[in-house]
Chains A and B, each alone.
Chain A
Amino acid sequence: MKLTSLIFKRPKKRDNKQNPSKQESQVFKEVFDTIDDNTSFFKQAFSGSDDLKINTLNVRTISGILVFLETMADKEKIQKDILKPIMESDNTQVGDLLKSTFQRSTNLYQAQQELLNGTCILILDGNKKYYMLDVALSKDRPVQEPNNEQVIQGSHEGFVENLMTNLHLIRKAIKTPNLKLEHLNVGDQIQSKLSLVYREDLANKELIKEFKQRIDGVSIDYIPSFGYLQELIEDSTWSPFPQILYTERVDRVVGHLNEGRVAVFIEGNPSCLLIPITFFAFFHSPDDYNSRWIIGSFVRSLRFLSIVIAVNLPAVYIAVIGFHFEVLPDELVLPVISSIRNIPFPPLIEALVMELTIELIREAGVRLPSRIGQTIGIVGGLVIGDAVVRAGLISNTMIVVVAITAVAAYSIPTSAMSDAVRFLRFILMLLASTFGFVGIAFGTMLILSHLCRLESFGTPYFTPWAPFHLKDLKDTFIRLPIWKFNTRPYDSKSTNPDRQSLARGWKFNGKRQK
């Protein structure tokens, strides 16, 4: 809570001394009278960059210049949309043509900005106005399923690097006039375009105000990717837990929008940020809703089991081996002892070596092409694992523990949360190797109390568990049938909590008539 208030307050102070470059861009500059002046203005503005093309245009009575960036504009479009119509039309029609297809403006600075977006600018001789047309070159990746968030069933659409395509995907999925888009710019020297998407009738207005306020307060030269933005606007950066959910799946964003949350897109990023979010949303997958609810619930509770295993298992193992082996039942004691008897290292070192090896294998494999990646996986997993046991450096049981932990950690559907979990277990391992179970108890307590104090844009991070909301448990650890979801979850602070009244109304039709 203290942290949030700090974040709120700081930007306010900074608002007063606005960055100079921001103000510069707002100055108005009129179109010059002569073509030469205009030409030199653009040349100067782009420092004579070689991709700035200024073609003179002399068709019949019309004379002027056509300015565009070769790297941003599509030459075919210029040919088709500008030159061809002008050539084919006769004198009288040119004026109409210009009026109907082109946008007009008088500010040269705006022209400069628009050129960067791939616009073609037409300045006519002796005219105080200029005309512009969007002929942006688009080299988009096709819409395809994101690699890191695959599902078995359901939509296979994913976002791409183009903002407009992404917004199109959202609009297409939510066909209601209530869906509102807001464009914001962020970045002092290089501006990135953000797009705020929410359902006007659902989203909490204070949340949106809060978000805009934070964006306003951000002062950074430029935002290269969503990771930057996330760290600039999240509540507490001193936390391993992600407080903003990013996803590349369309259906996921649509689901969250319909619960009253807000989605943020950044130009050039295929990820969408969702706020506010809770701890538990990171464990949900669209698959849960597309399979039978009993199976969905089972799979989901398995994931929560997996986080417990991933965080605690190595620590518990270390504590047992190093401190309290009396908790093992008799049948287990002797097999375990026979496996660890000749290991030269203390359990903590043993565990650290193996855990770090697994992390290394992952890190090595992740950036390699998939074929080499597989080789690394086999060499790392099988060869090292087997050899290290044969060499008597690491015990069999430790390999089993580490392997189970790794599998559990990677079964969490969101990579950010999986990273957090993998990081936390090292802390617990250290505590366990010093204090045994007592250390684990304190570590768990610290983690839980940390989760209790975290907030994501004013929403308690650990809700519906703390603060406790019994109703919202329906879609947290388990997934109840869809017709149980009559209210929207509390954590999104939606202005209209009612979602549906009788989802299976056909069942009650007979009764109603009576």
Chain B
Amino acid sequence: MEKDKNKVTHKQLVFMIIQAQIGVGILSLPHDVALVAKQDGWISTLIAGAISQVIILIIWGLCMRFPSFSLYQILPHLLGKVIGKFLTLSYSLYFMVTGSLVLARYSDIIDKWILPRTPNWITMVLILITCIYIVSAGLTSIARFYVLVSPILFLLLVLISYSMKDANFLYILPIGSHNISTILKGSKEAAFSMLGFELFLFIHPFVQSSGKNKLKSFTTANIFVTVFYTFMVFASLVYFETNADIALTPEPLLYMIKAYSFQVLERTDLFFLSLWLIIVATSIANWLFLSAWGLASLGRKKKYTAFLPLVAGFNLVLALVPDQEKDFENFNQFLGPTHYIFIVIIPFVLLLLSIILSKKEEVNKV
């Protein structure tokens, strides 16, 4: 990758992180959270945001010690070539699997809501081709695209806010009726939807700004996502009866706007889904990018684009495996601990190691 060409500004960083975080989970998040934490789900979401902020600080701390190394360079630097390469490969695989899960969930929702008879692999191929095209252009173009499509989030916000006219605010009362552990369990569900900020580990050397500004952008993105999610969860909690109804609807946000009709169009959910597709594409593109980049940094070959079709093919095969909801659960259960390992534990250990070994990148080095 040519370094001078692939630069992003810290403003673009905000949107990149936001787009990476908000993904396929947005539709089902209120349902997942409400299943556990009932009407206190929105508190869980807030807490999840706070937890991810802590992780963000760890990640940032690590990145600041190596201002021009991405994680794929930090790993061999700190742990030696063999372990480094092994971990790079594991990261790559982890991103592949996560990407596949997102892909599978996307195609599941498309299958249920819009295109029930279209074979799933076709909708998957469609989004993978789009994502490959987005990603293959290099970091700067990716960043531009992410910024360009971000207004969609506000559009989604407006659509959801409109449905609040039929909300019943009594549904979220009494606040805090569940004990802390239930709410924290809810946070766990919400935290999975917050994932994506690990993108920072990899792109921070390409951000043209000081370390402080990077943290600012990073935090801004996280706060935005937390508020956005909390609003979505809150909106569906006050719209649906929290014990029975929301448990029956796996995609509450779609349900909420399905009934609304405006002067010239009805069935707003179809438009919502079309917009949501773009949000999903950005997050799948993200996993694709990180995974292909990881594979590329394993070998000598510097171009990650060559690996994109490979990763996409892998994603496709893996995403075709689950075809029942039970499979998704198994998939999720398998991924649960790996998330902790790759997002929290490894960066934390690396940070400790670099402090203990007092290994730091020499500032003069480019």
- Interface residues of chain A, those whose CB is within 8 Å of chain B, are 1-2, 5, 324, 326-330, 332, 435-442, 445-446, 448-450, 452-453, 460, 462, 465-468
CB distance from B311 to the nearest CB of A (A): 18
Assembly CA distance A328 to B265 (angstroms):
5
- Contact check, A435 vs B115: say whether CB atoms are below 8 A apart: yes
Residue on A nearest B262 in the bound complex, by CB:
A329
**Which residues from A are CB-within-8-Å of B118?**
435
Assembly CA distance A435 to B263 (angstroms):
25
- Contact check, A452 vs B114: say whether CB atoms are below 8 A apart: no
9-residue interface stretch from B56-64, B133-141, B293-301: B133-141
- Give the residue among B133, B141, B305 with the most A Cβ atoms within 10 A: B141
Which residues 232-250 of B sit at the A interface, judged by CB distance below 8 A? none
Assembly CA distance A232 to B262 (angstroms):
50
- Contact check, B149 vs A448: say whether CB atoms are below 8 A apart: yes
CB distance from A452 to the nearest CB of B (A): 4
CB distance from A224 to the nearest CB of B (A): 33
- Contact check, A438 vs B123: say whether CB atoms are below 8 A apart: yes
Q: Sorted from nearest, which 9 A-B pairs have the closest CB atoms?
A: A453-B137, A466-B144, A466-B148, A453-B141, A441-B274, A452-B144, A452-B145, A449-B134, A441-B277
- Contact check, A5 vs B145: say whether CB atoms are below 8 A apart: no
Assembly CA distance A480 to B191 (angstroms):
45
Given A2-B138, A452-B137, A453-B137, A467 contacting B149 (CB threshold 8 A): no
**Which residues from B are CB-within-8-Å of A329?**
261-266
Assembly CA distance A437 to B110 (angstroms):
11
- Interface residues of chain B, those whose CB is within 8 Å of chain A, are 2, 5-6, 9, 11-12, 110, 114-115, 118, 123, 126-127, 130, 133-134, 136-138, 140-141, 143-145, 147-149, 261-267, 270-271, 273-275, 277-278, 281, 305
**Which residues from A are CB-within-8-Å of B5?**
1, 5
Given A452-B145, A466-B147, A438 contacting B114 (CB threshold 8 A): yes
Main secondary structure of the interface of B (DSSP, over half): helix
CB distance from A453 to the nearest CB of B (A): 4
- Contact check, B275 vs A460: say whether CB atoms are below 8 A apart: no
CB distance from A433 to the nearest CB of B (A): 13
CB distance from B323 to the nearest CB of A (A): 20
- Contact check, B130 vs A446: say whether CB atoms are below 8 A apart: yes
Assembly CA distance A438 to B6 (angstroms):
31
Assembly CA distance A439 to B126 (angstroms):
9
Residue on A nearest B126 in the bound complex, by CB:
A442
Given A2-B138, A5-B2, A449-B145, A437 contacting B274 (CB threshold 8 A): yes
CB distance from A277 to the nearest CB of B (A): 17
- Contact check, B147 vs A1: say whether CB atoms are below 8 A apart: no
Given A326-B267, A453-B137, A448 contacting B148 (CB threshold 8 A): yes
- Contact check, B141 vs A452: say whether CB atoms are below 8 A apart: yes
**Which residues from A are CB-within-8-Å of B281?**
442, 445
**Which residues from A are CB-within-8-Å of B143?**
467
Residue on B nearest A450 in the bound complex, by CB:
B133
Main secondary structure of the interface of A (DSSP, over half): helix
Assembly CA distance A323 to B215 (angstroms):
46
Assembly CA distance A437 to B275 (angstroms):
10
Q: Which of B110, B148, B267, B274 contacts A452 (CB 8 A)?
A: B148
Assembly CA distance A414 to B131 (angstroms):
31
- Contact check, A324 vs B126: say whether CB atoms are below 8 A apart: no
Given A435-B115, A446-B133, A324 contacting B145 (CB threshold 8 A): no
- Contact check, B278 vs A441: say whether CB atoms are below 8 A apart: yes
Assembly CA distance A5 to B110 (angstroms):
39
Question: Can you identify 25 A-B contacts, CB atoms within 8 angstroms?
Answer: A2-B136, A324-B267, A326-B267, A329-B261, A329-B262, A329-B266, A332-B264, A435-B115, A437-B270, A437-B274, A438-B115, A438-B274, A441-B275, A442-B127, A442-B130, A445-B149, A445-B278, A449-B130, A453-B137, A453-B144, A460-B144, A465-B148, A466-B148, A468-B11, A468-B147
CB distance from B138 to the nearest CB of A (A): 5
**Which residues from A are CB-within-8-Å of B136?**
2
- Give the residue among A328, A441, A449, A460 with the most B Cβ atoms within 10 A: A449
Residue on B nearest A443 in the bound complex, by CB:
B130
Residue on B nearest A463 in the bound complex, by CB:
B144
Residue on A nearest B12 in the bound complex, by CB:
A467
CB distance from B27 to the nearest CB of A (A): 15
CB distance from A434 to the nearest CB of B (A): 9
**Which residues from B are CB-within-8-Å of A465?**
148
CB distance from B88 to the nearest CB of A (A): 24
**Which residues from B are CB-within-8-Å of A332?**
264
CB distance from B203 to the nearest CB of A (A): 16
CB distance from B232 to the nearest CB of A (A): 20
Instruction: Known A-B contacts: A442-B277, A448-B148, A452-B145. Give 5 more (CB < 8 A).
Output: A1-B140, A327-B270, A441-B274, A442-B130, A450-B133
Assembly CA distance A328 to B266 (angstroms):
6
Assembly CA distance A441 to B270 (angstroms):
11
Assembly CA distance A480 to B263 (angstroms):
32
Assembly CA distance A467 to B263 (angstroms):
35
Residue on A nearest B276 in the bound complex, by CB:
A441
Assembly CA distance A30 to B118 (angstroms):
79
Residue on B nearest A451 in the bound complex, by CB:
B148
Q: Which of A1, A437, A452 contacts B271 (CB 8 A)?
A: A437
Assembly CA distance A448 to B137 (angstroms):
12
**Which residues from B are CB-within-8-Å of A468?**
11, 147-148
**Which residues from B are CB-within-8-Å of A462?**
144, 148
**Which residues from B are CB-within-8-Å of A440?**
274
Q: Which of B114, B149, B264 contacts A436 (CB 8 A)?
A: B114
- Contact check, A449 vs B273: say whether CB atoms are below 8 A apart: no
Residue on A nearest B263 in the bound complex, by CB:
A329
**Which residues from B are CB-within-8-Å of A438?**
110, 114-115, 123, 126, 273-274, 277
Residue on B nearest A329 in the bound complex, by CB:
B266
Assembly CA distance A327 to B138 (angstroms):
38
- Contact check, B266 vs A467: say whether CB atoms are below 8 A apart: no
**Which residues from A are CB-within-8-Å of B149?**
445, 448
**Which residues from B are CB-within-8-Å of A467?**
9, 12, 143-144, 147
Given A437-B274, A441-B274, A467-B147, A327 contacting B265 (CB threshold 8 A): yes
- Contact check, A449 vs B133: say whether CB atoms are below 8 A apart: yes
Given A435-B126, A437-B273, A467-B12, A448 contacting B141 (CB threshold 8 A): no
Assembly CA distance A329 to B305 (angstroms):
45
Residue on B nearest A324 in the bound complex, by CB:
B270
Residue on B nearest A460 in the bound complex, by CB:
B144
- Give the residue among A1, A324, A439, A448 with the most B Cβ atoms within 10 A: A1
- Contact check, B270 vs A1: say whether CB atoms are below 8 A apart: no
**Which residues from B are CB-within-8-Å of A1?**
2, 5-6, 137-138, 140-141
